[in-house]
Amino acid sequence: MMFPFRKVLLPWVSRSSCRSFSVSQNYWNAKKGLVLGVYEKEKDDDRPHFTEAAESFDRSLSGKLRELLSISGPALKKGKGRVFYGVHDGFSSVAVVGLGKRSAEVCGKENWDSCKENIRAAVSVGCRLLQDLELREVEVDPCGDPQAAAEGAVLGLFQYDEFKQKKKTAVKTQLHGSSNTADWEKGVLYGEGQNLARRLMEAPANHVTPTYFADVIQQELSLFSDKVTVHKRPRSWMEEQQMGAFLSVSKGSEEPPVFLELHYKGSLDSSQPPLVLVGKGITFDSGGISLKPSSGMDAMRADMGGAATVCSSIVTAAALKLPIKIIGLAPLCENMPSGKANKPGDVVRAKNGKTIQVDNTDAEGRLILADALCYAHSFNPKAIVNAATLTGAMDVALGSAATGVFTNSDWLWSRLHKASIVTGDRVWRMPLFQHYTRQVTDSQLADLNNIGNSRSGGACTAAAFLGEFVTVTHWAHLDIAGVMSNKDEVPYLRKGMSGRPTRTLVELAAGLSAEP
């Protein structure tokens, strides 16, 4: 295999004395890689500034790594990496990655912790470089924040290739040179939780049916059966609950609907009101009779992203043993055109008795969420948070920069915002004005119309519609349509479905569990 010169820096090409030939032999024998971090050069100081782990590693080589880095090319920029071969007996390859400025901190302008984001991005780059060399074991520099480093490694290495014959090398990562394994393991669980959502969202819809989705989550939660109860409610139960809005969407498909109900009992206080998470679970959205354009319709296999992130966050909360009660609700079905499907102009009745004129069958997510939100109130919740890939208008408004949040609670907003700063998976508050409510309550045939009377403000009118099924003091609607997929916006996520904002939901639950 030929390597570009800038990447191949064997010990004998350095400007200092040669190491023994046994090291070069170990280059071929060793199967382990190492990721180390370096900060940008400071003013009036031309030397590279290593992390504590990288400095220790360099001392063990008598300064060899620093020398190789200085002669290999220009200083490493933030998020870039460079690989050195044969410099250490225990590692066949060492990837040095740029962490940006050492002084990086929480940035009010960007609404995230720049230090954590730099670590995630840099570590993911290093791990991918070593994965491309088909190394199966990689040790990772904690870079001052083991949790962020673990998240960068786990998220950065994920590749959905289940149906490909040629697969990416599976890499086992572990912490290098640090005793703080608790934070590392926490970061691994955060990353694996988001990857679970990514797997569900990326998989083809003929495999991830409502039944299959529910089975996967049940299997993931089987490890925590002492703390978690799973209910897979059938159509007959939905009929008993008078979920007419949900049932009206599901009837166009041959796949039976499932109402997935998860109870995580992490708190010892049985009287503690639960956090209720509700996720839109359309496992494929054709638009129904109001058929979507064929171009890009394949991406609608991920229209269950709300359910995927909500359920994955509960799996993660259980793995972390968070001392909190969480109930997860995921109405799961397909939205398909058929002789039984909803027709534009149909009127359906939701669980709370309100009637809905369905003028656009592609605005189906709000219909299934309406019944789920009504049911959520039966648990006397501390707060209700729903997540849904609800509107293209949200993508137009914010793109992939942040999840749009519509909430009636300053208290809940502050905790969501705080959680997103930690995770780097940002949220942005959107308006819930009566201006938008009037647009969905102005209906010719029913109490509500499932689309506003104007194309403008589509994400806002959708949120206002959902608000008609909420009476609790603390409720937030997360429209995640804009963050559903990733091209190259988030450097530590490969192209594909993103699984956002799973980690922010987990961090929200962790924050609430720590409050008195």
User: Per the residue annotation, which of 41, 168, 232, 292 is the catalytic one?
Assistant: 292
Distance in angstroms (rounded) separating the CA atoms of residues 320 and 191: 12
Residue 69 Cα distances to 73, 84, 127, 509, angstroms: 7, 9, 18, 42
Residue 238 Cα distances to 247, 332, 356, angstroms: 7, 12, 18
Q: Are 238 and 368 in contact (CB under 8 A)?
A: no
Angle made by CA atoms 287, 394, 379, in degrees to the nearest 5:
80
Distance in angstroms (rounded) separating the CA atoms of residues 28 and 316: 39
Closest CA to 483 of 502, 509, 457: 502
DSSP of 355-398, one letter per residue?
EEEES-TT--HHHHHHHHHHHHGGG--SEEEEEE---HHHHHHH
Which SS3 state, helix, strand or coil, does residue 306 take? helix
Q: Which residues, 6 or more positions from 449, have their beta carbon under 8 angstroms from its beta carbon? A: 356, 357, 359, 440, 441, 442, 443
Distance in angstroms (rounded) separating the CA atoms of residues 465 and 7: 56
Angle made by CA atoms 333, 334, 336, in degrees to the nearest 5:
145
292 is catalytic: yes
Closest CA to 500 of 162, 262, 155, 114: 155
293-323 burial by CB neighbour count: b if 16+ within 10 A, else e?
eeeeeeebbbbbbbbbbbbbbbbbbbbbebe
- Cβ of 170: how many Cβ atoms within 10 Å? 9
Q: Are 105 and 111 in contact (CB under 8 A)?
A: no
User: Per the residue annotation, which of 301, 325, 354, 366 is the catalytic one?
Assistant: 366
Residue 178 Cα distances to 141, 144, 146, 170, 321, angstroms: 8, 10, 9, 24, 24
List, in sequence order, every residue forming a beta bridge with 139; answer none if it has no partner.
34, 174
Q: Which residue has the tokens 């403008």?
A: 456
Active-site residue list: 292, 366
